[in-house]
Copies of this chain bind each other. A is one copy, B any other.
């Protein structure tokens, strides 16, 4: 993995991925006690940064390989990203999804032209299921995070952050990134290390699912004790990846974690102050920026809001309980 791969991915994404805005509000600055900038990746096509990685990986395949089709396993956002990228390239897509994924994500993936195969998150092994399907049908497996071209695509988010921060005169800040397997976090960290070395990435996770923070603290890959029971389902993964963890370990500051109450309050603040819709897993970094100000340093913080595919009922709950 190097900056050249991220820049090559940026060229393939040009004109296809949205350059998402860096938003701000004096009201958020006041809550946090410092300048808060929000990279609104929830506005990306398919509603999350996963479109970048999906497009990067699909577009990097040899045409004759791509024409046979791709397969991905995902709790939802990677699924939509790969499905939309595959359709745009005229390639069939099979998506292996947990049966308890939000209904809207399953429906959206099907509507984007993909074949959806469901499995039980508690008892099934999605890696094994994906590998078997790939072999049977000659599909290329596109992993959700531990895959260089996916990391390169997510890293294009970091290239944009570097440019947008420079345009605002921000050359020193912590960059908070919602972290599951670490594809987005490691991609951004690689891009910033090369293009904006004063911007330091810190991964953010939900409390109780802080495998990355513990892995960084201990210097080796740690696993989550459980994989369900969080409203931040989109970023709950067993552990950081074999490719992503060494990058995170080399380039990132310590991990942060936030409570579900903080996540809901951040979602409400995003609605009322920035006018964006952020899903729970995508809101953990903003929650840390707003409600954990003493756990970071500096005059400015940049929080990535990584996805917006929230069940309307959960967003309504956030608004009613925390949006006053």
Chain A contacts to B: CB under 8 angstroms:
15, 18-21, 23-27, 30, 40, 42-43, 45, 47, 84, 104, 108, 111-112, 167, 268, 271-272, 274-278, 308-309, 312-313, 315-316, 319-320, 323-324
24 contacts between A and B (CB under 8 A): A15-B167, A25-B45, A26-B84, A26-B112, A27-B108, A40-B43, A43-B274, A43-B275, A43-B276, A268-B312, A271-B277, A271-B315, A272-B312, A275-B276, A276-B276, A312-B319, A312-B320, A313-B319, A313-B320, A313-B323, A315-B319, A316-B316, A316-B323, A319-B319
Q: Determine the residue in chain B with the shortest Cβ distance to A271.
A: B277
Instruction: Check if A21 sits within 8 Å of B20, measured CB to CB.
Output: yes
Chain B residues near A308: list those with CB within 8 A.
Answer: 275
Q: How far is the CA of A54 from the CA of B323 in the complex (A)?
A: 27
Of B271, B276, B278, B316, which one neighbours A320 at CB under 8 angstroms? B316
Of B18, B25, B84, which one neighbours A23 at CB under 8 angstroms? B18
Instruction: Check if B272 sits within 8 Å of A275, measured CB to CB.
Output: no
Q: How far is the CA of A20 from the CA of B112 in the complex (A)?
A: 26
Q: Determine the residue in chain B with the shortest Cβ distance to A307.
A: B275
Chain B residues near A323: list those with CB within 8 A.
Answer: 312-313, 316
Of B24, B26, B47, which one neighbours A275 at CB under 8 angstroms? B47
Of B21, B27, B278, B324, which one neighbours A312 at CB under 8 angstroms? B324
Q: How far is the CA of A199 from the CA of B24 in the complex (A)?
A: 31
A318 to chain B minimum Cβ distance, whole angstroms, is 9
Besides the known contacts A26-B112, A27-B108, A315-B316, 17 further A-B residue pairs in the complex with CB atoms under 8 A apart: A18-B23, A26-B84, A26-B111, A30-B111, A42-B275, A43-B274, A43-B276, A104-B272, A271-B312, A271-B315, A275-B308, A276-B276, A276-B277, A312-B319, A313-B320, A313-B323, A316-B316
